[in-house]
Structure 1
Amino acid sequence: MAQTTTLQVSSLAFDNNAPIPRQYSCDGEDINPPLRIGNLPERAESLVIIVEDPDAPNGTFTHWMVWDAPPHPSIEENSKPGGTVGRNDFGENNYKGPCPPSGEEHRYFFKVYALDSKVNLDQDSTREALMVLVDEKAIGYGELMGTYKKG
């Protein structure tokens, strides 16, 4: 990865290292939370957004993958940020919120990469294929981590 700028990723819905509100989970409306992306490099041509749960029973579980999104400083709640929405580990091309097994608190990382070009992958591409291109093209990176526990 080239030298990268640190992006400031935040949300009006929850603080870093704090609980994610129920409405953004499978127990609620299952909609994406609003995200704010600060310190975007001027030469950013696209964004990649990946939401994943590293605490899932069978290893890291991907909840949302978006690439070739316009480099905009905000993503609104319950929105499509543009670009291509890839297949998550639920087998769907959309956002699916936190949904850990009952009684377990999991961490959810909202990872944002600023790229110097688009990746031009189709919506059936794998996370592994996407990350090869992200490693080549990333000029900025930041993340927001929230927790969720059912109940």
Structure 2
Amino acid sequence: MRVSSNAFEEGGWIPKRYTGRGEDISPALHIEDIPNQTKSFIITLDDASHPIFPNYNHWIIWNIPVCSDIPESVPKGEVVSELSGAIQGIAYGRHCYRGPKPPLKTTHNYTFTIYALCDLIDLPAASTKKEVLKQASNLILDQASLTGKFQSHRNESEDAG
């Protein structure tokens, strides 16, 4: 399985609009080579560079229906009707996407991970990433990640040249 985004490339800069310093909306994600037995997806977003809490979880959403394209700007809320009732749990974003927002001029790496599951997960929206992945551990068929970087006070116009 592979995941990509039209917003940024693997290892590239995450545009400000997808961060806590911009519009704070989730980027569109494209999934390829989905296992045939897949019944649902989980998506997590983690700050892989957090100095105190390694892999600090920013977003957890599960029971996403099988599709090759996750749309941009997943709405806030425990239940996402636009994604057939997918559930958003408790992370830095409580029942919503919360994008990168590192302090000062530090550059942090952020990893989106997609898990393909052979079933749905029956957990309340008050669940955390740890609880969701524990429940999903025997259901995971495959996973793929996309990592980007962000610096809060970076000038994006530098990319144009």
Aligned pairs for 1:102-121 (under 5 A) are 102-121=104-123
Matched, 1:35 2:38: no
TM-score calculated relative to the size of structure 1? 0.91
The structure 2 residue matched to 1:85, chosen from 79, 84, 88, is 88
| Cα distance, 1:133 vs structure 2 | 2.1
Distance in 1 separating the partners of 2:98 and 2:106:
18
Match of 2:45 in 1: 51
Among the aligned pairs, what percent are the same residue? 30
Q: Which runs of 5+ in 2 are unaligned?
A: 76-82, 154-161
For the residue of structure 2 that corresponds to 1:119, the secondary structure is: coil
Larger Cα-atom Rg:
2
Structure with larger RCO (C-alpha < 8 A, sep 6+): 1
What TM-score, normalized to structure 2? 0.85
CA distance in 1 between counterparts of 2:106 and 2:100 reads 11
The alignment partner of 1:136 has SS state of: coil
The 8 Å contact of residues 113 and 134 in structure 1, kept in 2 or not, is answered as no
Query: What's the offset of the Cα at 1:21?
Result: 0.3
Q: Which runs of 5+ in 1 are unaligned?
A: 1-6
Matched, 1:150 2:144: no
CA distances 1:88-115 after superposition (whole Å, capped 9, x unpaired): 124x110010000111100000000000
Q: Counterpart of 1:25?
A: 19
User: RMSD of aligned C-alpha atoms?
Assistant: 1.1
